[in-house]
Amino acid sequence: MRSEGYELGSALTFVVLFNLGGIVGMLVAGRASDLPHARLRSRGGTPTGAPRVSAVRLALTAGGVFLLSVHMPLTLTFVVVFLTGVFLNSAQTMIYATVSIGSAPANRATAVGWTSGTGRFGAVFGPWLGGQLPAADKGDWGFTAFATAGTASMVFIGIAALRTARSERRDGEPRQLAATG
């Protein structure tokens, strides 16, 4: 954000707001994914669950990151950074829940471990890419790259959500994702 013309104080405030948003997001997303299926159906809605919550939040993350590529007034940028923190951090947490739902009990720990390892790779590669692009005088591409990653993640988690919805429609009962392995 410093390379985008923001002062050091504002750039540091972005980090704090992003992480505060993450705290709020994880509390809200966890509650939303645990809402009882029967109560939602009685109100005419569809069950949420971790895959659906994660897919929606990844889409909102991609939108928030893309919005950050537009130079907005500082106050609006603070709001977008906070909301992007809400959506990204909670989506990442719900990915672990999605993987555990979709894995057979015998493979669940391995599946969550692989997911965590892949996420750690992203935690190293993302900042590296975020530094390489401005160094190559292509800083604006960072927002596009990270928004694209969020969109791709949303598609894959959305597929998991659709699998859950189809299995529920077939049986008429809420179910976990089909076990693989």
- Angle at the Cα of 87 from the Cα atoms of 81 and 89, rounded to 5 degrees: 95
**What pLDDT is stored for residue 129 in this prediction?**
86
Higher pLDDT, 170 or 5: 5
**What pLDDT is stored for residue 25 in this prediction?**
92
Q: What is the pLDDT of residues 9-21, one digit of tens each?
A: 777 888 899 999 9
Q: What is the pLDDT of residues 47-92, one digit of tens each?
A: 457 888 888 888 899 899 889 888 889 899 999 999 999 998 888 8
Distance in angstroms (rounded) separating the CA atoms of residues 10 and 4: 11
pLDDT band at 2 (very low <50, low <70, confident <90, very high): low
Mean pLDDT of 128-143: 82
Does position 42 have pLDDT exceeding 60, yes or no?
no
**What pLDDT is stored for residue 178 in this prediction?**
44
Mean residue pLDDT of the chain comes to: 79
**What pLDDT is stored for residue 85 in this prediction?**
92
